[in-house]
Amino acid sequence: MDWKEQYKSFLWITGFFLFAYFLPIENDTFRNAIIDAFALAKWYAQEHVLLCLVPAFFIAGVIAVFISQASVVKHFGAKAKKWKAYLIASVSGTILAVCSCTVLPLFSSIHKRGAGLGPAIAFLYSGPAINILAIILTARILGLELGIARVIGAVSFSLIIGLIMAFIYRKEEKDRADAQLALPEVEEARPLWQTSLHFFILVAILVFVNWGKPIETDGFWYFIYANKWYITSLFGIGFAISMMYVIGVRKLYVLLGVLAVIISAIFFYHTPTVPFVIGVVATTLALTFTKGEPNQWLGETWGFTKQIMPLLGAGVLVAGFLLGSAEGNGGIIPKDCIYTLVGGNSLFSNFFASITGAFMYFATLTEIPILQGLINNGMGKGPALALLLAGPALSLPNMLVIRGVIGTQKTVIYVALVVIMATISGIIYGTLF
């Protein structure tokens, strides 16, 4: 008998028994935290998974299959010019309206395909930190000064953190770079512009289906919001054409999928999410029954989904339990306590804002109304910037997935760098303004 395994089972059973025995279900705060945990999970499932994560998983699959390792190495690996790799990675977030979780499959893809640790980390931070919608709303709602500070802080953060990570693991990166340099030049299976076009269409769909409602009810930004589903439909047509002539999916399957989407759009005109879901299902079926690269694309997409979704689900539940949901009564940590702790511009208030933001989950653009409420309740300008720089780029679910991609040690160092730099930036900004 393996006594070690038996004792391990005994400890698990004992631990669960003690947890259940002392479960404080009669405590109102505990019960509210439980409710908020599931409320946040429900909100996440309803508002975020279908329109954000699903397109992101398909984009990650495109990177994994259609963007060759040679291409990634060329732009982000050892063969790339350092300034170019970091520049592209640091500003990539301007075209991606993604949150700290949606960027994960994209980060995992480029790292898997051979991107250097530094540029990959720069991309990981910049993706959710500086998307153009968030910057515009920050400047318009929270003030131009804070919007400019967010841009400067986010771009410089991505560069500095990426460079520091690359320096710390320079020996490991050198070995990886040497292996890449030894690889022969590989001829692309299709012209890069075709793959880029397909990728751009998917990114455009991701951006426009998640286009947030602006404060004003007129003007250019509201026009885009009011017509975002029509714009998405145009890119959907481009997606169907690309599926047939770039990716090589059988035309009959694509046309049947388009027909299903059109019919569902007619019957569910006021619920555009339904045709979107039909489009996802049709794409999945078309890729399932097409051999070769299209089927590999679906396989990679499903692989990222299996790797990331369970961790995200667990992380969202924990985040909701600790910090509550937007509409709930609060988690175990009281909201009033948070408001009290982030007033002024002390080292502690900035650090607390950074560490709290790092563990909280912010969907794309939700950090702005949350921060507006905190500022209205006495939050200082420095801690506000610290939260903006640490919050959207990190979250507890995000950390769990990053750990699965690059390991525990690198994840701890990355999180620590973000928190430390956000704290320092908050203090500087709070002192100046």
DSSP of 79-132, one letter per residue?
A: TS-HHHHHHHHHHGGGG----TTTTHHHHHHHHHTT--HHHHHHHHHHHHHS-H
Q: 365 lies in which domain range?
A: 49-249+290-432
Q: Confirm whether 139 is domain-assigned.
A: yes
pLDDT in tens, 354-404: 998 888 777 655 677 677 767 766 778 899 899 888 887 888 878 888 888
Q: Is the pLDDT of residue 327 over 90?
A: no
Answer with the residue of higher pLDDT: 406 or 2.
406
Q: Confirm whether 284 is domain-assigned.
A: no
Q: How far is CA 197 from the centre of its chain?
A: 22
pLDDT in tens, 333-343: 776 776 678 87
Structural contact between residues 59 and 195, judged by C-beta atoms closer than 8 angstroms: no
Reported pTM: 0.68
Q: Confirm whether 41 is domain-assigned.
A: no
Q: Is the pLDDT of residue 83 over 90?
A: no
| Mean pLDDT for the stretch of residues 10-36 | 87
3-state helix vs strand vs coil in the chain, percent to 5: 75, 0, 25
Q: Is the pLDDT of residue 218 over 70?
A: yes
Average pLDDT over the chain, rounded to an integer? 81
Q: Confirm whether 133 is domain-assigned.
A: yes
Structural contact between residues 55 and 343, judged by C-beta atoms closer than 8 angstroms: no
Answer with the residue of higher pLDDT: 372 or 158.
158
Structural contact between residues 128 and 98, judged by C-beta atoms closer than 8 angstroms: yes
Share of the chain above pLDDT 70, in %: 85
Answer with the residue of higher pLDDT: 349 or 53.
349
Domain count within the chain: 1
| Residue 44 structure tokens | 């996440």
Lowest mean pLDDT among 2-6, 22-26, 123-127, 382-386: 2-6
> Position of tokens 């002024």?
344
Query: Any idea how long the chain is?
Result: 433
User: Cα separation of 339 and 350, whole Å?
Assistant: 12
List Cβ neighbours of 418 (8 Å cut-off, separation of 6 or more).
125, 157, 161, 354, 358, 389, 390, 393, 394
Phi and psi at residue 213, to the nearest 5° = -75, 125
pLDDT at 180: 57
Q: Confirm whether 18 is domain-assigned.
A: no
Share of the chain above pLDDT 90, in %: 21
Q: Confirm whether 75 is domain-assigned.
A: yes
Lowest mean pLDDT among 67-81, 88-102, 221-235: 67-81
Q: Confirm whether 14 is domain-assigned.
A: no
pLDDT at 366: 64
Q: Confirm whether 33 is domain-assigned.
A: no
